[in-house]
Amino acid sequence: MTDFHLARDLADAVLLAAGRPRRALAPPGPGGASRVRADCLLRAGPAARVRMRLRFLHVQVRRVEPDGVSDGHGVALHAGDEAVPEELDPEYRLADLLDAERTLARVVPARRMVEPLGCGRVVRSRWPIQVLMRTRAGRDRDGEVTRLSVEVLNITDWPHSLAPDEALRRSLLVPHLIVALDGGAFVRPDGPPGRDALWPVLVADDLLLASPVRLPDRPGTKIPG
């Protein structure tokens, strides 16, 4: 069984280490995209299992009371935004995906954490995000190859009168998808992905990273074409 760590380490180094998010899935409404999709090709029998890990950053607001209070080590703390990682891990039999589309709905809950300090405190807050994943599979290339399609949607309900910063706190930042295939192998795509699709990065025969930015396949990886 393939471990996610190769693709996870690549995403951490290239995507999450960036100083500024390259893509965000905002709540439905004007001014931003609320959905993205990932498509990939594979060769596998119906008994194969598809394991996925959707990863993104969630904005967390840091409030310092009083502003500028020391952290106890001589460092002054100030209010600001932080980004924390979130993950969803659906898993399906390929036969089930060929039979019908599968849907996963999750609510990433709101959180409020208080860190007491000697002369004050730090309060960290997150707002809830509602995520919907739709996964399906279909035969391609005269039945020899299977096309796996995953659609990720931010379906968070929010008042459109809120400021852009409020929408960002309810957004999926730098969304990317890791797909591991037990009992099969991925195939190089015929061409580049569509405009609203993530870029498929072949990490190993049975491991793929769907990235919001174009990345080359891992050097030395042998992928059937």
Q: Does 62 map to a domain? A: no
Domain count, the chain: 1
pLDDT one-digit tens code per residue, 176-207: 999 999 999 999 887 788 878 999 999 999 99
Q: Does 141 map to a domain? A: yes
Q: Does 24 map to a domain? A: yes
Asked if the model's pLDDT at residue 66 lies above 60, the reply is: yes
pLDDT one-digit tens code per residue, 69-106: 988 888 899 999 999 999 999 999 999 999 999 999 99
pTM: 0.88
Please tell me the distance from the alpha carbon of residue 175 to that of residue 86, in angstroms, as a whole number.
10
In 183-193, which positions are buried (b, 16+ CB within 10 angstroms) versus exposed (e)?
Answer: ebbbbeeeeeb
Q: Does 37 map to a domain? A: yes
Q: Does 33 map to a domain? A: yes
Q: Does 150 map to a domain? A: yes
Per-residue pLDDT at 222:
45
* Domain carrying residue 199: 5-57+85-109+128-211
Contact residues for 16 (Cβ-Cβ < 8 A; gap 6+): 57, 85, 174
User: What value does the mean pLDDT take over residues 138-156?
Assistant: 90
Check residues 110 and 196 and name the one with the higher pLDDT.
Answer: 110
Terminal CA-to-CA distance of the chain, rounded, Å? 22
Q: Does 115 map to a domain? A: no
Task: Characterize the bridge pairing of strands 102-108 and 80-88.
Answer: unpaired
* Per-residue pLDDT band at 122 (split at 50, 70, 90): very high
